[in-house]
Structure 1
Amino acid sequence: MRLVASDIDGTILGHDGKISDRTVKAFKACRDAGVELVFVTGRPPRWLYPLQEQLGHSGIVICSNGAVVWDLETEKPISSCTLDITSIFEARRIIKSLRPDALFAVETLTGFQLEPGFLENETSELLAEFTPAPLDQTLAADAAVVKFLAITRRGTPDEFLAEVQPAVAHLVSTTHSAPRTAMLEMSVPGINKAVTLAKYAESLAIEAADVVAFGDMPNDIEMLRWAGHGYAMASGHPEAILAAGQQAPHFDDDGVAQILEAILAEQTV
């Protein structure tokens, strides 16, 4: 094990916004053993504070499902893959034809833009600073969009993905990571966590066989397949579990920490 690549939400971070003490200690033990750490998430750069505050991580984070490589130390992007605005609006048109009730939002390198109703009646402290408005009025032609989001109040995330993915595959790469909310996450075609993680590992002269990866949702599938040792959380999505071939114990049982402790113990024998 030379590199640990871990998802955040549902893998090491709970709904309470906390990373367990045991997990924090396991990551510290990896650092002390000279193992590289990189976090690979669907989150945008502005939502990475749990890594800094709870893990003291100041290194590289692969964000927005692989579309952004972010340096926490400088708080600047190292690289990014941005969506073409024409493709975004064409994908929006197609999705609307399939699901007229769908609403949309975009993540950019500098913020977030959402249509009225995207959050329904929920209040979100994380999004309170952003004012809902139609995307055709707010989205500039040169906006650096790294993720396009679509949400519907009908059906499950898996049903929404199965209906939309083939219809927009020529425009965007589509996945989802919300366990109960039918929200799709779209990026530049061909971009996912695995693609960007592979490039990062190569930059460190680390092969896939020496990478241990953890995840729990469909947006982790490619990464779990690519890594030499991909572990899906036992509490994760069935398709992620199937793709990984190996399971970490349930999130509630500090599954990531258990696996890392065991691997480190073997390496020191």
Structure 2
Amino acid sequence: MRLIASDLDGTIIGRDGKISDRTVRAFQDAASAGVEIVFVTGRPPRWLDPLRERIGHEGKVICSNGAVMYDLAAGEVLTAQALPHRNIFAARDAILHLHPTTTFAAETTSGFLLEPGFVDSGSVELLDGITPAPLEASLAAEDAVVKFLARGKEQDPDVFLAEVHEAVSHLVSVTRSAPTEALLEMAQPGINKAVTLAEYAASLQIAPQDVVAFGDMPNDIEMLQWAGSGYAMGSGHPEAIGAARYKAPSFAEDGVAQVLEARLAELEGP
């Protein structure tokens, strides 16, 4: 084990936004043992405070499902894979043809744009001063969109993903990470967590077989398959569990910490 690559939400961060003490200790012990750590998340850079505050991580973070490589210590976007605006609007039209009540939002390298109805009126985004507006009006030519989001109203999340994937896969890559919502996340075709993680590991001269990865949702599947030791959380999505080589105990059981503790014990030897 030379590199640990871990998803955040549902893997090490709970719905309350907290990371357990046991998980914090496991990552800190791994870092002390000389193991490289990179977090790989669908979150944008602005939502990484738990890593700083709880784990003390100051290294790289792969954000927006692989579209962004972020330097947490410097607070700087190192690389960004932007989705062409023409693809965004073509995908939007195709999704609206399927489900006319769908609403949309766009993560850019500098902020967040959302359409009316995308979030509830009391949401964090609105409290942060973001004014909902149609993307045609709010998306400027220079905005680099790294994640395009579509929220269905009453669709089954997995059915929604399957339908949209079939309709727009030639325009965007499509995945989901929200456990219960019909919320889809789209990026430049060919971009996912595994692609950017593989590039990062190669830059450190670390082979896939020396990587231990953790995840829980469909947006983690490629990463779990690429890593030599890919662990799906026992509490994760059935597709993630079916795709991974290994299954970790559930999030509630500190599954990531349990695996890391065992792996570190093996490194230390008798």
For the superposition of Structure 1 and Structure 2, which TM-score range results when normalised by the shorter chain? over 0.9
**Helix, strand or coil for the counterpart of 1:11?**
coil
Residue 161 of structure 1 corresponds to 161
1:28 aligns with 2:28: yes
CA displacement, residues 188-227 of structure 1 (integer Å, 9 cap, x when unaligned): 0000000000000000000000000000000000000000
- Name the CA distance, whole Å, in 2 between partners of 1:268 and 1:64: 35
**TM superposition score normalised by structure 2:** 0.98
Whole-angstrom distance in 2 between the partners of 1:123 and 1:236: 28
Q: Does 1:101 align with 2:101?
A: yes
Give the Å deviation of 1:122. Answer: 5.2
Structure-2 separation of matches of 1:241 and 1:126:
32
CA distances 1:124-179 after superposition (whole Å, capped 9, x unpaired): 22552211111111101221100000001122210100100011011100000001
Shift of 1:241: 0.3
Gaps of 5+ in 2: none
Distance 1:226 1:249 in 2: 20
2:203, 2:103 → 1: CA distance? Answer: 38
Map 1:125-164 → 2, pairs under 5 A: 125-129=124-128, 130-164=130-164
4+ residue runs over 4 A deviation: none
CA distance in 1 between partners of 2:204 and 2:170 (Å): 32
Alignment of 1:160-199 (within 5 A): 160-199=160-199
Counterpart of 2:79?
79
Aligned to 1:247: 247
TM-score by length of 1: 0.98
Question: What letter corresponds to residue 263 of structure 1 in structure 2?
Answer: R
> Any gaps of 5 or more consecutive residues in structure 1?
none
Q: Which residue of 2 aligns with 1:263?
A: 263
Map of 1:226 onto structure 2:
226
Amino acid at match of 1:221: I
How many residues end up aligned between the 2 structures? 268
Render the CA deviation track for 1:2-29: whole Å, top value 9, x for unaligned: 0000000000000111100000000011
Partner of 1:50: 50
RMSD: 0.8
Match for 1:239: what amino acid? E
| CA distance, structure 2, for counterparts of residue 162 and residue 83 of structure 1 | 21
Distance 2:134 2:161 in 1: 23
Identity %: 63
